[in-house]
Amino acid sequence: MFTYLNAPEFVGSISGFTRAKSEEVKARIQDKVTFMVTKIAILGSIALMFLFFLLFVSLTASQYLNVVLESAYAGYGIVSLFYLLLLIILFLVKNVESLNNSLRNVIAKIVSSIRGIT
């Protein structure tokens, strides 16, 4: 019976097949990890550039208000109060369940569209 199956050759082919499949899985995982790290780096760079943009817009607005109000510090105070007001509004809104659900839906759509691209 074993002569028909040629057992040593059969076991060798199974071993080679599993080795090849494991290498293929490793390559796929490495590709996906590389892709995700690249995406994170790009999104991190975009976020950093946006923060720099926001910083310089805020400084410009503060300087403009300082000139208009003829004060050395009033513009900085007004812009700081604006951000404090924005922070308070966001803190109060975070408890609103309908807004949270709508944000979750938007984020889920964005994630699904990103998955659709890949």
Neighbours of 1 (CB within 10 A): 5
Mean pLDDT of 32-37: 88
Contacts of 73 (CB under 8 A, 6+ apart): 66
pLDDT tens-place string over residues 59-70: 999 999 999 999
Give the least confident one: 2-6, 32-36, 73-77: 2-6
pLDDT tens-place string over residues 85-116: 999 888 877 767 777 777 788 888 888 777 76
Is the pTM here over 0.85, yes or no? no
CA distances from 88 to 54, 59, 83, 84, 100 (A): 19, 21, 9, 6, 16
Q: How far apart are alpha carbons 20 and 13 in whole angstroms?
A: 10
